[in-house]
């Protein structure tokens, strides 16, 4: 990653610190920028006159805001870098610092993938009216199909999305893609999403039946995995850092779905569950956790509500329960379940295991609205 081509926009933060006469400021940065944190602290202190304390715990998104602990320390303002503001209140004044990357990858390498994915979308569109009643065996096969989502398509448009540091490129790439013959939409999501075309690890609410496939401007596979799990639609990736064009392998998505399938079946005989509640403001879904507890009671099973700030195997594996239901960050169950000694499932997966949801609807990604 070429950090010299990132624009860390600190000027507005410095002006806010000066105007409010803040004396102690907390800086919170994503994991990928921690190596540059001390240099940023020097810059903020030199230009503003305030003292800066680094919130050095892991930070994985704007849902992971520093809150009451920093207030108890006497911090007056939190500077959160690299993520956009969500529809949550951490209880602390927070300044979100934009970070953009000066990259302009060539479009040509990704075009063959997009043409292939458009053909898949067209085939799904043409067969949309062929759905019929199916037996349980076929329903489970559909559940395991990475692009077998039942939600019918109404079009084959290309959905253009990206991670936060590349969103400024979307309008330019929309024009280039339209010149290449694609009908392009930059989707607009719900309240949790600040910008058109933005996707989060826990929210893909901009999806629409008229979108048949996606292109993601960004690096890594964290967002692409979630997007394909949520939509069941093919996705091509264009990396602004390297210029590489790849696709999210449907085989990889199907491996994840087989893993989820196995975990659902593994809790058939479970009688006691730990229900995990995230204490972080952007991940706390208390009402959902209580609903899961009531659902378990309805089916003659026991649920224990467990609240944690950080969730990891060493903090929960020792409890004498048969399995866990995660209502905190949705990606804990998807990305980290192999680390846990006992099955770790999502609320939707519990509903399938208890017969409240049907296999044939296809896999439903656990999303925080």
Give the domain CATH number at 138. 3.40.50.11850
Is residue 293 in a domain? yes
Is residue 348 in a domain? yes
Q: What is the CATH number of the domain that holds 53?
A: 3.40.50.11840
Query: Residue 201: its pLDDT value, please?
Result: 86
The answer to whether residues 222 and 275 belong to one domain is: no
Q: For residue 34, what are the domain limits?
A: 3-100
What's the total number of domains in the chain?
3
d(CA 137, CA 369) in angstroms, rounded, equals 32
Query: Residue 313: its pLDDT value, please?
Result: 96
Q: What is the dihedral of CA 226, 318, 283, 222, to 10 degrees?
A: -20
Nearest to 33 by CA among 24, 41, 23, 44: 41
The per-residue pLDDT for range 82-141, each reduced to its tens digit, is 888 887 777 789 999 888 888 899 999 999 999 999 999 998 888 766 555 667 777 776
Q: Which of 215, 248, 281 is the last residue of a domain?
A: 248
pTM for this predicted structure: 0.87
* Pairing label, strands 6-8, 99-101: antiparallel
The answer to whether residues 176 and 261 belong to one domain is: no
Query: Residue 131: its pLDDT value, please?
Result: 54
The answer to whether residues 223 and 155 belong to one domain is: yes
The answer to whether residues 149 and 221 belong to one domain is: yes
Q: Which of 100, 135, 152 is the last residue of a domain?
A: 100
Is residue 366 in a domain? no
Angle in degrees, 0-180, between the axes of helices 222-231 and 250-266, rounded to the nearest 10: 70
Query: Residue 15: its pLDDT value, please?
Result: 96
The answer to whether residues 353 and 345 touch, using CB atoms and an 8 Å cutoff, is yes
DSSP output for 334-358? HHHGGGSSS-EE-HHHHHHHTTSS-
The answer to whether residues 150 and 238 belong to one domain is: yes
The answer to whether residues 296 and 173 belong to one domain is: no
Is residue 368 in a domain? no
The answer to whether residues 112 and 235 belong to one domain is: yes
- The contacts of residue 297 (CB under 8 Å, 6+ apart) are 303
The answer to whether residues 11 and 53 belong to one domain is: yes
Q: What is the CATH number of the domain that holds 354?
A: 3.40.50.11860
Query: Residue 83: its pLDDT value, please?
Result: 83
The answer to whether residues 343 and 220 belong to one domain is: no
The answer to whether residues 216 and 169 belong to one domain is: yes
Segment-wise mean pLDDT, segments of 10 residues, the chain, 369 residues:
68 95 94 86 96 91 81 92 80 86 92 96 79 67 60 89 92 97 95 87 89 94 91 94 93 90 95 96 93 98 96 96 96 93 96 89 83
The answer to whether residues 42 and 135 belong to one domain is: no
């Amino acid at each position: 990653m070429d950090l010299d081509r990132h624009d860390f926009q600190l000027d507005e933060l410095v002006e806010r610190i000066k105007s409010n006469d803040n004396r102690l400021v907390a800086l919170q940065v994503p994991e990928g920028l921690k190596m540059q944190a001390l240099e940023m602290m020097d810059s903020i202190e030199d230009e503003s006159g305030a003292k800066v304390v680094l919130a050095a715990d892991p930070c994985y998104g704007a849902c992971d805001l520093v809150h009451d602990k920093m207030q108890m320390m006497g911090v007056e303002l939190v500077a959160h870098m690299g993520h956009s503001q969500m529809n949550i209140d951490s209880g602390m004044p927070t300044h979100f610092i934009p970070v953009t990357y000066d990259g302009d990858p060539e479009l040509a390498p990704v075009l063959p993938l997009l043409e292939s994915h458009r053909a898949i979308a067209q085939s799904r569109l043409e067969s949309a009216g062929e759905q019929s009643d199916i037996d349980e065996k076929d329903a489970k096969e559909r559940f395991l199909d990475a692009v077998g989502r039942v939600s019918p398509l109404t079009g084959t448009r290309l959905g253009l999305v990206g991670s936060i540091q590349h969103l400024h490129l979307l309008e330019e790439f929309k024009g280039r893609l339209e010149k290449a013959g694609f009908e392009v939409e930059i989707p607009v999501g719900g309240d949790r999403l600040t910008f058109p075309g933005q996707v989060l690890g826990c929210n893909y609410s901009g999806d629409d039946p008229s979108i048949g496939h996606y292109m993601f401007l960004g690096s890594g596979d964290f967002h692409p995995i979630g997007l394909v799990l949520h939509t069941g639609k093919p996705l091509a990736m264009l990396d602004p850092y390297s210029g590489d064009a790849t696709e999210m392998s449907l085989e990889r998505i199907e491996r994840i779905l087989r893993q989820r399938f196995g975990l659902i079946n593994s809790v058939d005989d479970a009688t006691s569950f730990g229900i995990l509640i995230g204490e972080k403001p952007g991940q706390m879904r208390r009402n959902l956790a209580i609903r899961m507890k009531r659902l378990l009671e309805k089916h003659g099973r026991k649920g224990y509500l467990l609240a944690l700030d950080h969730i990891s195997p060493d903090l929960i594996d020792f409890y004498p329960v048969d399995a866990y239901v995660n209502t905190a960050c949705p990606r804990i169950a998807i990305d980290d379940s192999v680390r846990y000694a006992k099955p770790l499932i999502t609320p939707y997966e519990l509903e399938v295991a208890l017969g409240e949801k049907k296999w044939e609807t296809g896999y439903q990604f656990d999303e925080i609205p």
